[in-house]
Amino acid sequence: MAKTAVAKMESTDFENKTAQEVLQWALETYHPKITCASSFGAEDVVVIDMLVKIRKDARIFTLDTGRLPQATYDVMQALMDKYGIKFEVYHPKADAVEEMVSQQGPNLFYESIENRKRCCGVRKMEPLSRALKGMEAWITGLRREQAVTRTDTPRVEIDKSQGGIVKVNPIIDWTTDQTWDYIKKNKVPYNKLHDQGYPSIGCEPCTRAIKPGEDLRAGRWWWESPEYKECGLHLKK
């Protein structure tokens, strides 16, 4: 990554900029070597809507783990139809999935954190490394209030876990209400599982609806303690 781009990033006060202003800066600075990660949750569809309104050819990728709910594919198609865009889709390597499932079974992730991390590594982390290869920056839909593991995440940062590229989190300080207000106001397609009590949606066997009073990420890997509830995509090195 060019030193001038890093210097420009470090000298900019992103915390006082709007999400759209941050995305405008990111695209002007790094396109075409910047890509947006999307799992098609509420936050991600907001960022997609903002991106395509700034630059129609903005790059957006998704990790198709092979275990996603049909509702996730439905919103992906709806976004493609509405905006006339395409997504870069990354699948896990077939031989790695075959070896893992042959050795430990299709539901290995329920047995231990180590097994769950292995599954996330095969289905998410390795494809992510391919998606970010050659990139100087990437964009996410992270929000601080989503989880205890994200409360100190800045709007723009150097992502050491991904080789020191820039990580842009334009709606990091948004609330749930802000997110849904944007979706409704802009008529953005969203995952219909959100209407069934799923505020956070990942792979089908690792996601459930939350109960009244539970936090937003309670339905993800619900058998684990909150401090472990990251697949690795957004862990700090």
State pLDDT tens for residues 162-204: 999 999 999 999 999 999 999 999 999 999 999 999 999 999 9
Burial class of residue 133, CB neighbours in 10 A (0-12, 13-18, 19+) = exposed
Instruction: Examine the pLDDT at 8 and tell me if it is beyond 90.
Output: no
pTM: 0.89
Instruction: Examine the pLDDT at 5 and tell me if it is beyond 60.
Output: no
Specify whether the CB–CB gap between 154 and 47 falls below 8 A.
no
104-148 pLDDT, tens digit per residue, is 999 999 999 999 999 999 999 999 999 999 999 999 999 988 766
Q: From CA 138, how far away is CA 48, in angstroms rounded?
A: 13
**Residue 108 has what pLDDT?**
97
pLDDT tier at 230, thresholds 50, 70, 90: low
Tell me how crowded residue 92 is: count the other CB atoms within 10 A of its CB. 21
Residues 6+ away with beta carbon under 8 Å from 13:
none
Q: From CA 2, how far away is CA 68, in angstroms rounded?
A: 37
| Residue carrying the six token digits 């459930």 | 208
**Residue 4 has what pLDDT?**
53
**Mean pLDDT for all residues in the chain:** 91
Amino acid (one-letter) located at 212: P
**Residue 234 has what pLDDT?**
47
Active-site positions? 231
For the structural domain made of 3-228, what CATH number should be given?
A: 3.40.50.620
pLDDT tier at 232, thresholds 50, 70, 90: very low
Which helix H or strand E contains 60, and what residues bound it?
strand 59-63
Question: Residue 85 corresponds to which tokens in the numbers above?
Answer: 């865009």
CA distance readout (Å), 3 to 73, 88, 99, 157: 39, 28, 42, 15
**Residue 145 has what pLDDT?**
86
76-112 pLDDT, tens digit per residue, is 999 999 999 999 999 999 999 999 999 999 999 999 9
- The percent helix, strand, coil of the chain (3-state, each to 5) is 50, 10, 40
Cβ contacts of 70-76, under 8 Å, gap ≥ 24? 71/191, 71/192, 71/193, 71/201, 72/39, 72/40, 72/191, 72/193, 72/201, 74/191, 74/192, 75/40, 75/45, 75/189, 75/190, 75/191, 75/192, 76/40
